[in-house]
Each structure stands twice: as C-alpha cells, then as structure tokens.
Amino acid sequence: MKAICVSGSPSATAGSHRLLTSVIEALAERGWEIDLIRLREFPLPPLDVSAYYVDPYPDAAVQQWRSRVGAADAVVLATSVHHASYSGLLKYALDFLTADAFVNKPVALLANGGAARGATIGCEHLRAVVKALGGWAGPTQIASSPQDFDAETGELSNKALLRRCQSAAEELTMFTRAVRGAAATV
C-alpha cells in the first residue's frame, strides 16, 4: 500500500512535519510505501481558475501533484495551524486537486498549533475539505502543540501522542484494506 504524506507547513522547522515523521515511521512499520511531499519545497504555480477543469492541467508541477495523489491508496495531511485553521499553503495545494481526488482514499489528519485545542480546530476544518474531495477522514486525528516535543531534539516526546500516531497508522491500514477489498468486489 502507498500513502502520500503531505507536509503542509511553510516553516522548515514545523512541529506538524515532526508529527508527520512519527506517523510515517508507524506506517513504515506496517509495510507502507511512503511518498512524502513538503509543500514548502514543491513549486506550484499561480492558480489559473480558467484551466482548473482542463485535463491535463497546463502545468507540469500540478500534473505531478495530481498524479502522485492519484497513485496513493491513502493520504496523510499534516498542517500547522494559523488563525484557528489549517495553513494557506495546504489550502492552495488542495485547490489544485479535482473534486474526486480523494475518492476511495482514507485520510489521516494531523495538526500542530500553539495549543492542542487550537490544532484540533485545524483538523476539523480539513475534515470538511477531505469530504468535499470524496475522501474518508479517519476518526483518529492528531493535534499537537510545542509542549509535545523534546526541547533539545525536537522529536515528538508526548507518549500519548506517540500512541495516537500508532493508532492512526493502524486505522489507515485497516480502512485502506477495507476500501481496497470493497472496490475489488464492485
């Protein structure tokens, strides 16, 4: 199984990316192939609304983005939280996808903000976007804050969140197998 893992923060040292790393490790333990995209390093062009429904989209980076999402069995979206919502960078990238981009794809949601409760709001906002793209957002979302990371190493150190990373990976695995099995019988 293949997961596209999207790091949606504009920051090079984002807590959301470090959180994503923990989920990637948990997925790798379960045999997943990982396709990691750090949006801050991915060269998406200005959005051309007139070309939105053109297939293929007239830009190679957008074609690649759509293709990589399409090739994945599941999606992991990680975002930093800005003004009580997910990052504009992630929103921008998601706007390039077609309305069916996440059909039959389970999606895990991760967010890091100034406080865990604020990060939860970012996940909830993403949940609506995932639904609009036809995806299935899993019930286990992970919301972290700066206190959840080791001050020296920067690694996730909150034991409860580390367990949630394992749970999210297990959930994504289970849901992906179920969706693939159901699709095979249709």
Give pLDDT, residue 186: 61
Contact 90, 79 (CB under 8 A): yes
Name 87's Cβ contacts closer than 8 Å, sequence gap at least 6: 8, 9, 10, 79, 80, 81
Domain ranges, residue 169: 2-185
pTM above 0.85, yes or no: yes
What pLDDT, on the 0 to 100 scale, is given for residue 12?
84
The pLDDT score that the predictor gives to residue 50 is: 86
Q: Would you state the pLDDT for residue 115? A: 81
Please tell me the predicted confidence (pLDDT) of residue 166: 98
| Peptide bond between residue 56 and the one before it cis (omega within 30 degrees of 0) | yes
Give the pLDDT score at 87: 96
Q: Number of folded domains in the chain?
A: 1
Determine the pLDDT at residue 130: 99
Tell me, what CATH number does 38's domain have? 3.40.50.360
pLDDT in tens, 127-170: 999 999 999 999 999 999 999 999 999 999 999 999 999 999 99
pLDDT reported for residue 117: 78
pLDDT below 50 — which residues of the chain? none
Strands 85-86 and 33-38: unpaired
Tokens of 36: 């990691």
